[in-house]
Amino acid sequence: MIEKALRYELNKVSELENKIFPMNAPEGQKPPYLVYITRKKPLKDLGGVTEDRECYLILNILCSSYFEMKDITKKIEDIIIKGSLKSIGKENLYIQDIDITDISESYEEQLKLHRGIITFTVYYKEE
Q: What is the pLDDT of residue 110?
A: 93
Residues of the chain with pLDDT under 50: none
User: Is the bond preceding 32 in cis, omega lying within 30 degrees of 0?
Assistant: yes
User: Dihedrals φ, ψ of 17, to 5°?
Assistant: -55, 125
Chain CA centroid to CA 42, Å: 19
pLDDT in tens, 30-67: 999 999 999 998 777 788 777 788 999 999 999 999 99
Q: What pLDDT, on the 0 to 100 scale, is given for residue 56?
A: 97
User: What pTM was estimated for this model as a whole?
Assistant: 0.91
Return the half-sphere exposure (C-beta side, CA atoms, 13 A cut-off) of residue 72. 30
The rounded Cα 47 to chain-centroid distance in angstroms is 31
Smallest CA-to-CA distance from 61 within 125, 5, 116, 6 is with 116
Write the single-letter amino acid at 47.
Answer: G
- Least Cα distance to 97 among 121, 127, 119, 73 occurs for 121
